[in-house]
Structure 1
């Protein structure tokens, strides 16, 4: 198992959390997505390391911005 923490900007409500969780959770290999609305942190647990471009695209599809690490 691999756990990565991403920083996402622009989330302000429960709908935001739901949208990001759904898009990132749909990526191949993702087992769990936890979103902390207050901090903007998105914790993703997956079987293998995820392609950063795929995570960025999923967050973008949800309507938010992934902060560069």
Structure 2
């Protein structure tokens, strides 16, 4: 059961990468995507971690809300 839940969780995370447009922007290059994610993680570990996470959370919530309403969000 735990393995199935983990698999579902990983699939959902992959869906977010796709939904954010990163797959197309990186031309489906996994090294580029991984590098981008490492860069994001390093930024969060920096001095402005709380600010960065709060910004990302607001943007994500707006995007989810816009999607639920059927409109697009420009970032």
Mark yes or no: TM-score above 0.5. Answer: no
Q: Which has the higher strand share?
A: 1
Q: TM-score, normalised by structure 1?
A: 0.31
Hey, which of these two has a bigger chunk of helix by percent? Answer: 2
**TM score, norm. by length of structure 2:** 0.29
